[in-house]
Amino acid sequence: MKVCVFGAGAVGGHIAARFLAAGLDETSIVTRGASLAAIQQRGLTLRVADREFYGRPCFATDSPETLPSQDVVIVCLKAQALPGAAEAIDGVLKKDGIALFVINGIPWWWRYGLPGTQEPLRLLDPEGTLWRLLRERSLGCVCNSSNEVIEPGIVEGMTGDSWYLGDPISAASSRLTDMVALFQQAGFDARGSADLRRDIWKKLLLNASLNTLSALTRLPTIHLTTDQNVRVQMTNVMFEVMAVAKASGWDLQATVDVEALIAPERRVHSHRTSMLQDVLAGRSLETEALLGQLVEFARESGVRTPLCDILLSLLRGFGLSGGLEVSSIYTSAESLLVTPIGSSTS
């Protein structure tokens, strides 16, 4: 089987290193810049506690069109980069292949297989390219794994990671079963999800609060979870996310304790969230996948999200002021505004 990891940052590097170390499949990597040069010269290394995973890919390239057709493409790009890579992913994937999207936040394929309108999400797939080319061949993944690239070609991860894989249109498809088995053979704590969208909402509780506040404050997680004032704001954001999830059809209140999610004793190991890593590296942010689409869902369902509205405006403005890329759909300062707190959201 030919497997390509498309994007070898922190999470993509983690996955690729585990696959290479297991030696299970013909694994290739699509990456660029210093990461590509390092992997080509000395391979890829993942360090987790006292364990090390190492390997050299069959191919490492920044030109996916040069690869042979792939059975599986594991896409680890940030959500905002996906529309521009859709044709390249489609081009390298076999017609009956599988694209597994390992991304944070609301995924571009969200409406696929749900009752009602079958159309792309404008904030995440503006031209509908991902939807048109890949929706029928795509699986999703909720990755609970903290990683950071400490230097090109070397990723550092933390213990206790878990991976939930799911099919947008089926709770137990054969392609999902095969993909879970592939991850498990490489030693991952991977399992099939009976409702991946519920797992996405559960992770979004942290993505929308911990990640966004870390980006704006530049604080690692240990400072965010031990500061009482910050914890209050994170908790309030989580309650807004839960309200939107419930209005969208996923009630998390009976199964999720938001206070426990950010309790200092539960998060004793401090790390820099992925969004903070992007801020420090001057990269574009996952603003729309983590907050923008959430606020859109809130408007559609008439749920008020004043804190998320504020965070969204700040992060969009932060992206502009810092020279970071923001979605090309914002063409004027007026379009950066969100619904005022006192206005109707219907």
Catalogue the active-site residues: 203
What sign for the dihedral angle of Cα 276, 282, 141, 4? negative
Cβ–Cβ < 8 Å for 121, 129: no
The β-bridge relationship of strands 154-157 and 147-151 is antiparallel
- Cα distances from 127 to residues 123, 124, 208, in angstroms, run 10, 9, 25
Determine phi and psi for 6, rounding to 5 degrees.
-100, 95
- Cα distances from 94 to residues 30, 71, 82, 134, 170, in angstroms, run 16, 6, 18, 11, 21
Cβ–Cβ < 8 Å for 101, 67: no
| CA geometry: angle 182, 188, 191, nearest 5 deg | 75
Q: How far apart, in whole angstroms, are the C-alpha atoms of residue 336 and residue 110? A: 23
